[in-house]
Amino acid sequence: MKFDALTRVPLLSLRHLESAVRLGSFDLAARELNVTPSAVSQQIKRTEDSLGHSLFERSSNRVTPNARAMELGSILSEAFELIESGVRQAMTDGGEQSVKIRLYQTWANRWLVPRLEGFTRAHPEIAVEFETGIEMVDFSRTDADMAISTHAAQTRSARRKQIMTSRLTPVCTPALAARLTSPGDLAQVARIVSRNRMSDWQRWLDAAGYSQVDQRPMLVFSNSTLVYESALSGAGVAIAQVELVLNELESGRLVQPFPLALTSDTPIFLFEPEMRGRRAAVRKFRAWLLSEIEEIVARTDAYLLKVS
């Protein structure tokens, strides 16, 4: 593209084009940009006129970006990501020395926060900010530098790395475990589960060969943190992600009444928008985070091998 063509295409028009290509719809782009679909259409028509060729195939009830639009949209997405990252850093005092991570609240409470002392001791100059939630990660709507999650919206140049696959097993206090001789006895005690993981008990009972046990949980909590606190209180048997209760299992505060540990069907990934990962603070935090993940995976493997 010649430089004189660039001077004829307003940045606002390119922003509308990027949104429409990424979302595949003028209506969705209008909603994201808080304008009307007609305004999006006009801005894209201005871009097409400036470039001298069409970017969308138009029919009576839909528009579809062509190959040229898809290529240009991808380039624009990375460019806008870089611009947004630079502006965000300029607006934030000490932005170069901070990192923001998004993850599930239970993973923050039970796994990451207790380990942070090691990172802050090694890097006292870097501030760490947390954002928690169970919604799908969408880097077009959050300024997080990275996210630990099972899924993310495929927006812009987000990349992913599988970091672990949790193991699921029933856990309870030693006193309650003494009452359980086989998985069939689970029908006689309160089974505990998170509302966000309602299928875990069914999967484990099926794998254990006890599908006939009533699979309805008796205690349902809004998050796994409450599930594990309930199990520690002796209220019942929780279906747990081993990595999140490993300290209690190793100390004996919780035990596995049965040795079967089932691999979760939802791997956990580290998601990152590529442009935001260029800062030194983000690179340092990522390296530390991955080393902590390797450690918890190795400890979990060793524990399960010992009790199997």
Is 49 found in the same domain as 187?
no
Q: Quick one: tokens of 100?
A: 């923001």
Does residue 212 share a domain with residue 172?
yes
**Domain shared by 182 and 251, yes or no:** yes
Characterize 230-242 residue by residue with b for buried, 16 or more Cβ atoms within 10 angstroms of its Cβ, and e for exposed.
bbbeebbbbbbbb
Query: Which residue bears the tokens 């006689």?
Result: 188
In this prediction, residue 108 carries a pLDDT of: 93
Let me know whether 279 and 140 are in one domain: yes
CATH number for 148: 3.40.190.10
Same domain, 118 and 251: no
Residues 197, 124: one domain? Answer: no
- Say whether both 84 and 230 belong to one domain: no
Q: Is the pLDDT of residue 130 over 60?
A: yes
The reply to whether 238 falls in a domain is yes
Q: Are strands 127-132 and 98-103 parallel, antiparallel or unpaired?
A: parallel
CA distances from 170 to 98, 117, 210, 290 (A): 38, 30, 14, 27
Digit-coded pLDDT (tens) for 141-162: 778 889 999 887 655 567 889 9
Q: Are residues 145 and 180 in the same domain?
A: no
Q: What is the pLDDT of residues 243-256, one digit of tens each?
A: 999 999 999 999 99
Looking at the 3D structure of the chain, how many domains does it have? 3
Does residue 308 sit within a domain? no
281 and 227 belong to one structural domain: no
Q: Which residue has the higher pLDDT, 79 or 53?
A: 53
Q: Does some domain include residue 71? A: yes
Residue 298 included in any domain = no
Helix-helix angle 11-23:67-91, to 10 degrees: 110
Q: Say if residue 107 is in the same domain as residue 132.
A: yes
Q: 114 lies in a domain?
A: yes
Residue 68 is part of a domain; what is its CATH number?
A: 1.10.10.10
- Indicate whether 148 and 279 sit together in one domain: yes
In a domain, 303, yes or no: no
Kindly report, residue by residue over 27-54, the tens digit of the pLDDT.
898 998 999 989 988 998 888 888 888 8
81 and 105 assigned to the same domain: no
Report the range of poorest mean pLDDT among 57-61, 91-95, 112-116, 119-123.
91-95
CA angle 213, 216, 218 (to 5 degrees): 110
In a domain? residue 199: yes
Which structural domain, as residue segments, surrounds residue 66?
Answer: 3-90
Pair 26, 33: CB distance under 8 Å: no
User: Identity (one letter) of the amino acid at 12?
Assistant: L
Asked if residue 205 belongs to a domain, the reply is: yes
What is the rounded distance in angstroms from the CA atom of residue 228 to the CA atom of residue 230? 5
pLDDT higher than threshold 50 for residue 2: no
